[in-house]
Structure 1
């Protein structure tokens, strides 16, 4: 069964970017520390990055994140989805207006203008099709940004929450949780590495 997995890195004080995220510095001041684990040589970090990349049948992101990854300082042939994995699942972008052009033309982009629920539904269809083609179960991954994942949790669209807790206090930035609908989580695993604590929950 295709799962909807929200996957994001955050600081000990709950921020998914540092202060002042902007074009050219999408993670804000100090925010790069949130993703140190994704580029580390720790064997467990490498395993988690690889497993997340290969299980992704489709990926949902918000427009702001798309503008960063498709921008001139964004992804390339070496660094992309899954960090150095540079995996190429289908990508679904939630946006009010599709962009006039796409730099990363080698990736499969779909732009959904009718809301997050429709974007998740479209991504599920792509992931189910990819599962049939590959012969193994693949998931939909909500990779962010924080507002997209927060909205998906509030709307009850998320089956699992995968958090990568970086050992850093940013003091300010973009928070992951800003109130909203209470959710009960069931802890499934905790993996502690040299660079992060990786937490996996069922959302019930």
Structure 2
């Protein structure tokens, strides 16, 4: 079964970037601390990262995050989703206007201009097709940014929130939650490592 997983790192005070994020500094001031776990040598962190990539049949991201990862200081062969792993998922970008060009031409990009639900639906199709090819269940991963994940949660599109709680207080930045509809969750797993506390929930329907 293909699940819709919202996967994001967050500070203790609820921010997914530091202050003043921009295309040249997508995580804002001090925001690099949110992703320390993803570059850690801690074996539990490495296992969690490998398992997350392995289950990813397609990845959804917003246009602002796309502009960061496809920008001149963005992803390369050694950084980015799936870097160093065998195979990479399809990427689906929610945007009002597709970009005129793409720097990361080696990745599979789809640009959806008709809203987040359609982007998630397109990603589900890609994930289910990849699952059929590989003979195992694969998921859709919403990797951000914060506004995209917040909208998906508020719209009831998410099955599994997966939060990586970083031991940092940023004080300001992009909040993960700003109100919205009440959602009831069931805690499924908690993994504490040397760099973060990894939390997984199921959304009650």
Calculate the TM-score normalised by the size of structure 1. 0.98
Give the drift of 1:85: 4.1
Match of 1:202 in 2: 202
Contact 2:18 2:170 in 1 (8 A): yes
Task: Write the distance in 2 (CA, Å) between the matches of 1:63 and 1:87.
Answer: 23
Task: Write the distance in 2 (CA, Å) between the matches of 1:55 and 1:99.
Answer: 28
Match of 1:152 in 2: 152
Task: Write the distance in 2 (CA, Å) between the matches of 1:16 and 1:133.
Answer: 34
Query: For 1:110-166, what per-residue CA distance to the aligned partner results, in whole angstroms no more than 9, with x for missing partners?
Result: 000000000000000000000000111000000000000000001000000000000
Match of 2:132 in 1: 132
Give the drift of 1:23: 1.7
Match of 1:59 in 2: 59
Task: Write the distance in 2 (CA, Å) between the matches of 1:121 and 1:10.
Answer: 26
Match of 1:111 in 2: 111
Give the drift of 1:83: 5.7
Contact 1:60 1:93 in 2 (8 A): yes
Task: Write the distance in 2 (CA, Å) between the matches of 1:174 and 1:32.
Answer: 13
Task: Write the distance in 2 (CA, Å) between the matches of 1:134 and 1:85.
Answer: 16
Give the drift of 1:53: 0.4
Task: Write the distance in 1 (CA, Å) between the matches of 2:104 and 2:45.
Answer: 27
Query: For 1:41-94, what per-residue CA distance to the aligned partner results, in whole angstroms no more than 9, with x for missing partners?
Result: 000000000000010000000000000000011000111104654851000000
> Deviation above 6 Å: which 4+ runs of structure 1?
none
Q: 1:191 to 1:87 in 2, by over 3 A?
A: farther
List gaps (5 residues or longer) in structure 2.
none
Q: 1:155 to 1:188 in 2, by over 3 A?
A: same
Match of 1:10 in 2: 10
